[in-house]
Structures are given as C-alpha cells and as structure tokens.
Chain A
C-alpha cells in the first residue's frame, strides 16, 4: 500500500499516523508538503491531525485552500481513498469532500481522553476488520469536534449507511455522557456515499500499539492494508 500523508504547517499527528501506517503495511508512507501541487500516485491519502495554520481561522479552513488540496480533491473524486483524522476530518468538511461541519465542543473546552466508539458501518476499506456494533476504545483530542449537519443531511448519512462510528460507553450504549463533544446523533466519523472517504475525530493511530495501552485503532490500518495492497 502506497500511502501519502499530507503535511500542513501546524500538522502534529503526521508522524504518529505514519508510524501506524508503517507498522501495518511495512512501508513508510510518503510525506507530502502542503505547498506541493502534484500528488504522487497513492493508494491512500491521509490528512493527519494537528492544528493546520494554527486553526486561527475555523479549524481546517486555511489548510483546505492549500495548493496540494486541489490534487487531493481530484484524486478523491477519481476514487482514491482518503482518511481524515481530527484536523483531517475538519479539512474534509471544509473542502466539501464530506458534508457537515465540526463546531466547538459543547463544553467549550479541549478534551483529550479515551472514548468508546460503536462501529456503525463495518462495510468499508477502513472498517473491514471490525464487526457490526463492535465497541472499540480510541482517544479523542480536540477543541472543535462537535459534528453538525442539517436534518436532511443527517437523515441521508444515516439512511445511506454513511455513519462510520458513534460515541458510546464501554457497554456500547450510545450517547449521553459518552458523547465528548455534543456531536449530532453521537456521530464520531462519517463516510462519503461511496465509503472511500472517511473523516473521524478520534485518533485510531494513538491506540495501535500495545505499549500505549491499547490496540483498538490497529484494525483500521490493517483493513486499509488488506483492501489496498
């Protein structure tokens, strides 16, 4: 699997996701600077977490207009899978590759902790190694992870099986205090209709190594390797 990780000024999980990709695939991904205009031929494009351009404007708004994003959008439209984690998810909504928006957390504070997710859609390149309704533990770390879309869009996401993950408690019960940011319908991650683009706020790369206290994020990378190699 040839993956490309796009690096923006202010990205800070680029190395972390590269480590997870390399561990799963045996190949280090290419790191592509945002100012490039040509994207190397890629089986997977990753938009990593961090604070592109400091998130001084809306999170992801500046990065979405970086030179490389034209090539990323073209590749995505041509079917290249795209994974956006945290700031990457924000970038995907800012480019319009995914619907909705990530608003400030309902509690108005940055939140960094492990959350539980229920796998809502295991039928994808990203989630094939999970099973329906499996409960996994993965960390979040964000200030703007409160997913919102209008009622019509949410209904379409739900109806088309485009909700990838929902926040839940350890027993798999969705919502309430288990939702760390106020996201509508407890949505933690969404797909495009073809399920080749995934944006999610939680960080699967942060629990993909037993030394870090868990490996529930690892199957996502294993799924990608299996489906794209």
Chain B
C-alpha cells in the first residue's frame, strides 16, 4: 500500500475541512473511497474559498450585465469596454487570514495574486488599490500589522512597477483578531487581445510557467475557509512568500507571448494552485486533463503528488498552447529566465488524471470537482432593524472646534499619507490624480482617456442595517467616481463576513447582497468580478460585515477631470443634495457623542443617480473648480478636506432654520457633494440646478487661512493640517 492509499479516518477528513456529509457525497459521486491526493484535491476544490458553497445562491442575484460589460464574474477578472477598442480588466480579492498571520508576506502575495488575475487575461496592470481594515489603534498587535501590511503592499507593487494609487484604511476594534487586506488591480487590454481560461482542443500541451513549486502555502485556501483561534499563528508555514521580481518577469513574458497567437487558454495558479487552475481550465472547456507531475519544476526534491497539487507557491501560470507554437513560447520564457515545462495535455475523457512516478495517483471526473461542489442554502435570520434615532437625541459638542479637530485628527479621518507615501503611486507615468482625493485617476497610456478607481464601504452602516449599508457602499463609490468627473462603469466586490454557518452572520450577508444588488441596478454599475471571504472570526467573534466595493469609471478627456482641492479665493462653495442632519451611525455620534445606536442614513438611489449625473454634467461643462463627495464626518469634514488639499480656507454660513449646527455639520445624509465655482459662474450653476430640480444651496466662499463657520467658530487651517497629518505618523513612530 503506497502513502497515497491511506485510510480515510474521521480526523483526516476533518483536517481537510470537509464535513462527514460532504465526504459521503464524494464517495457517492466517484463510487469509491478517494486516496490521499484525491482527498486533497477535493478539499481544495470544495472549500468555501474556491467553491463559494455558502454564497453562490446569493451571488446569483447580483446584476452582472450591461452594454459596457465584456465579461462578468466567473473568469479571473471582470472586463468592461472603455472605447476605442480597449477594455479595462479589474477585480478585488481578499488576503485576510495570511496577512494576520504574517502581515508582510500575506499582504505582498495578496497584491501579487490580484495582479496575476489581471495579466492572465492579457491586460497590463495599470493601477493597484487596497482596502485595509485594522483593529483598535491601541490594540497591541495593530501597529505591527499596519507596519507589515503597508510594507508588504509597497514591497510587491513598488518592485513590479505598478502604481498603488488608492484605497482606504480603517481602524475598528471589530477587526482586532481578524484584519482585512483586500487588494484590487485594474488593467488595460486591447479588446481583441483578451484571454480566457477555457481549454480547447484534444492533445494540446498543458504548459507550466513561472516559479518552481515548493512546499509553501499548502492548504492556504482551506485556511481561508476556517475560523481563527489563538493557535492560528501556528499556521504561519501555510503563508506563501512573494517574489515580485519573478512576477515582473512573468508579467512581461506572458504579455509578450500573448501578443502572438500561441495561447489557447491561461489561468494563474492562485488559491489551491495547480489543482484549481487545471480543473477550471478543463471544466470550462468541457475537457479532461492528464498531468505528469514528474515534469513539474520543483524547488525541492521528494515532493509528493499531494504536496504538488496543493502547493500555493506564487508567480506560477498554467496555459494550454497551440502545439506548433510551443517552441516559440519556450524561447520567450527562456529569455526571461523563467521555467517552462510541458506537464500534460488536454484529453477528451473529462477526467482529471494525475501521474507521478509512473503511477496514476489521482483519477477524478472534472465535473464532479468543479460543478458538483455542494451548494448550501444556509439558514439566515434578518438583522433586526435599527431604530432610527432623532438627531435631537445626540448632544451637541461642548466645544465645536475641539470636536472638529478631534475628528479630523483622529484614526478615522486623519490623512493616510503615511501609508501611501510608502507606495510608488506614480510609476508608469500616467497617474493624473494621486491618492488622497475622491478617486484615483490613471491616464490610459498614449490617450487622453482616464480610468478612475475607488474602494468604499462603511462597515458601521452595514452592521446597523446590512441592506442600507450595502446600498451605501455602492452609492459612495458612485459619488467618488462622479466627483472626479468619471462615468461609473462597473463594480467588483470583496465580501468579508464572519462564519456563514451562523444564521445572524448569514443574515448580514444576505442583507448586504440585497442592498448591493439594488444599488448596482439603480446606478448601472453591474458587478463584473469579486471574491467572498467568510469565516472572518476569531474565537467566535465575527468582524463587522464588510462588503468592500471597488469601482471603475471612465473620463473621456482628462483635461476635464476635477479634484477636491479648493482653488481660488473668491470661488463660491455650494452644496448639492438635501441636508437633513442625519446623525444616526455618524462618526460624530460614535466618536464624539458616544452613541452607537441608531439607523444609518437612508440611501435614495434615484436621487443618487440624478445628483451624480448633474455633477458630472457640470464637470464636463468645465464650470466647476473643485468637487468633493460628502461621506464620513459630514459636510464640515468634506469642506476641511477640500481646504487642506488646496491649502486655502473657506467660510461656511449655516442655515440653522430647523436643524442644530452640529447636525448640519456632521450629519451623514447621502447623495451630497460640495462644489466650488468662480463667482461669475454661480448663476449658471443655480440655473442648471433649478432646471434639473437638484437641491443646491450656497454654503460659503473660498478664501483666507481659516475654516470659518460664520458666527460660530473659526479654526486655523494650520491647526487642522497638523492634527490631520500627525495622527498616523505618531501612532506608527518607532
């Protein structure tokens, strides 16, 4: 009996993350007991991370179509049309568990993985973003995790030479034991040079390229599908190690190969490595695959079939090539000094057959692996509605100016400069809007077009009301794109939740999906790609529901792009949208008034759309000097951010007819923007708003070196700048 033919004990099955029912189903489907390698292959294909078994029924409810969509979910990344025969390819993906265990390598390989998803499709990555969520700043692990994750993201992206242009960073004690590292990448390709993963043809060579296979990352996907406990750090050996230099070579070699006609299908080896990539290629092509593991380039001798099939060594790709182009392809990879090995061929058997040492070590039906994974209709309970609380029940601050400085200079709203200055955000020479604004913008190389990208979600809204929170995440992404003058095109979602086997957690998931779906439909931003990360719990405590949204928009001519920076003294400041003073779930309520109850601000999607279209029309007419969306912290924080970006102050006059000043200033009512226009343009703006029936109110005037709230207080911009800029560097001081 070989090492492969081991007895299938309950412990062994459980160690592979399979339930007794799931194992029984495997035996039924293949009509025999699996051997060890086969068990490993099933565990890789049927875990939550790869099979979406808990989320699939809900993901199907999301809108994924639109005239702009070239390729929706199901491939390595989503694709949208950006005109002129070009497409944008993008996706966001989580690397949460590895980053908690080993922050530098976990975050680095998250970036490497998402970039491979993009260039696998034939696109050159042009922008990286990341949505990071850490625990309480005072938690003993937080500084270590922030430092490692940021260095890891920078270490990978800077080396490969793709700018990291945007994202978000949050702190909340809900992430103390389970941080979130969500990495997004945007690439650009010619529409007629896009590559997919479906294999075709019989007897075509299956080619392995890139790094050698080692023992790192074995069971990474299974780890991502389990809860954490105090012993999770013992799993450090399952975190992969990144090699950005090799990925740079792989990127250039793949794009060079793809410029020709050699590639039939290509798939990167990400989660569950060789297993997942090979099965997906075969499954999508309706084919079988025969692999000979003796041909796989290995980093160390003596690796078993089991280890090779489950290794998550980074910077590897699997391709099916045209047989008569194989030698030319080999030459390209030789020039880039990368391994290139024909490790198998496509077959018509629809079976996944693995040879090793001259023996067949696995022989499984492709469809069972790829399509018969269990799909669960997990029980869920709706999140109880949070009672709306009146703004009059949330007290005014004792000292308004101090409250403003505390918010702007605190963990939630302070400058993230300390983070993004560690990222090369300018390499490739097309970053036309740098980090810190509403959305980052990269020029489409050699054109006047710009791609805008943003990541958004407000987890405290999602926790209080998953559906409104889901809607708000999309709405804020829509506003951030609109605020720079970009037409929103489509969305990628990275859905981070706790244990789906708990009905309350599943209820959060369902609520968020409903909200996201509704908003994507209303705002015409279909979901084209995404990732689900469940079991984000430590010792039974789940993270706040965090459906991170990445969105991409198009600017036809970057000359029309706007920024949030206030520009000229004398410009008039207007607010677009209704200000109702909604303080429930606002940062003010939580941070200053210590009120965590209440419903989040409702999102009116039709209004969002009308306001966004109006803002974009004004930007296109080149009538506005600055635009900023109003979100966390409310109107006063938005105004201060604009002033800090422009280095010039402003005066705000409040109309306190039916609302207290602190509710007007800090309320987080949705669907709002601040815009500035030259005084001579004000009448035009007012007329346009009246004609479109858009609520518009003059709020104040640009000028001076203070933020003045007329008749109430004045705060020097220098004081705000110091508070805003110093918090994060001081937290991270060695």
Beta-carbon contact of B431 and A212 below 8 Å: yes
In the complex, what residues of B have CB within 8 A of residue A171's CB? none
Q: A155 CA to B432 CA in the complex, in Å? A: 40
- Residues of B in contact with A, size category: 20 to 34
In the complex, what residues of A have CB within 8 A of residue B443's CB? 211
Interface stretch of the complex, out of A37-45, A94-102, A104-112, A220-228:
A104-112
Known: A112-B425, A211-B443. A54 touches B244 (CB 8 A): yes
Known: A9-B336, A15-B429, A51-B158. A110 touches B422 (CB 8 A): yes
In the complex, what residues of B have CB within 8 A of residue A56's CB? 245
Point out the residue from A9, A143, A206 that lies within 8 Å of B249, measured CB to CB: A9
Q: A110 CA to B153 CA in the complex, in Å? A: 11
A25 contacts chain B at the CB level, 8 A cutoff:
no
Beta-carbon contact of A112 and B423 below 8 Å: yes
Interface residues of B in 398-440 (CB under 8 A from A): 420-432, 434
Query: What 0/1 pattern do residues 242 to 265 of B give for CB contact below 8 A with A?
Result: 011110110000000000000000
In the complex, what residues of B have CB within 8 A of residue A148's CB? none
Interface residues of A in 30-53 (CB under 8 A from B): 49-51, 53
Beta-carbon contact of B159 and A205 below 8 Å: no
Q: A110 CA to B420 CA in the complex, in Å? A: 10
In the complex, what residues of A have CB within 8 A of residue B244's CB? 51, 54
**Min CB distance, A146 to chain B, in Å?**
16
Beta-carbon contact of A113 and B421 below 8 Å: yes
Beta-carbon contact of B245 and A16 below 8 Å: no
A61 contacts chain B at the CB level, 8 A cutoff:
no
Q: A164 CA to B12 CA in the complex, in Å? A: 66
Point out the residue from B159, B161, B337, B424 that lies within 8 Å of A112, measured CB to CB: B424
**Min CB distance, B243 to chain A, in Å?**
7
Beta-carbon contact of B245 and A10 below 8 Å: yes
Beta-carbon contact of A211 and B428 below 8 Å: no
Known: A212-B429, A212-B432. A50 touches B161 (CB 8 A): yes
A73 contacts chain B at the CB level, 8 A cutoff:
no
**Smallest Cβ-Cβ distance to B244: which chain A residue:** A54
Point out the residue from A53, A111, A205 that lies within 8 Å of B422, measured CB to CB: A111
In the complex, what residues of B have CB within 8 A of residue A109's CB? 151, 422
In the complex, what residues of B have CB within 8 A of residue A53's CB? 245
Q: A205 CA to B151 CA in the complex, in Å? A: 25
Count residues of A near B (Cβ-Cβ below 8 Å).
Answer: 30
Known: A16-B429, A112-B425. A211 touches B558 (CB 8 A): yes
Point out the residue from B243, B249, B427 that lies within 8 Å of A13, measured CB to CB: B427
Beta-carbon contact of B248 and A10 below 8 Å: yes
B547 contacts chain A at the CB level, 8 A cutoff:
no
In the complex, what residues of A have CB within 8 A of residue B424's CB? 110, 112, 141
In the complex, what residues of B have CB within 8 A of residue A54's CB? 159, 243-246, 248
In the complex, what residues of B have CB within 8 A of residue A19's CB? 429
A209 contacts chain B at the CB level, 8 A cutoff:
yes
A158 contacts chain B at the CB level, 8 A cutoff:
no
Q: A209 CA to B154 CA in the complex, in Å? A: 25
Beta-carbon contact of A209 and B429 below 8 Å: yes
**Smallest Cβ-Cβ distance to A56: which chain B residue:** B245
In the complex, what residues of A have CB within 8 A of residue B431's CB? 212
A55 contacts chain B at the CB level, 8 A cutoff:
yes
**Min CB distance, B458 to chain A, in Å?**
28
In the complex, what residues of A have CB within 8 A of residue B510's CB? none
**Min CB distance, B511 to chain A, in Å?**
39
Q: A76 CA to B503 CA in the complex, in Å? A: 71
B160 contacts chain A at the CB level, 8 A cutoff:
yes
A12 contacts chain B at the CB level, 8 A cutoff:
yes
Interface residues of B in 213-254 (CB under 8 A from A): 243-246, 248-249
Query: What 0/1 pattern do residues 47 to 81 of A give for CB contact below 8 A with B?
Result: 00111011110000000000000000000000000
Beta-carbon contact of B159 and A206 below 8 Å: no
In the complex, what residues of B have CB within 8 A of residue A55's CB? 159
Query: What 0/1 pattern do residues 135 to 161 of B give for CB contact below 8 A with A?
Result: 000000000000000010011001111
In the complex, what residues of B have CB within 8 A of residue A213's CB? 432, 434
Q: A109 CA to B421 CA in the complex, in Å? A: 9
Q: A212 CA to B429 CA in the complex, in Å? A: 8
**Smallest Cβ-Cβ distance to A143: which chain B residue:** B158
In the complex, what residues of A have CB within 8 A of residue B430's CB? 212
**Min CB distance, A27 to chain B, in Å?**
17
Beta-carbon contact of A110 and B245 below 8 Å: no
A139 contacts chain B at the CB level, 8 A cutoff:
yes
Q: A13 CA to B427 CA in the complex, in Å? A: 7
**Smallest Cβ-Cβ distance to B147: which chain A residue:** A109
Beta-carbon contact of B427 and A12 below 8 Å: yes
**Given A9-B336, A112-B424, A143-B158, 6 other A-B residues pairs in contact with their CB atoms under 8 A:** A13-B161, A15-B429, A16-B428, A50-B161, A51-B161, A206-B426
Nearest 4 pairs of A and B residues by beta carbon: A12-B161, A54-B245, A16-B429, A51-B159
- Which B residues fall within an 8 A CB radius of A? 151, 154-155, 158-161, 243-246, 248-249, 336-337, 420-432, 434, 443, 558
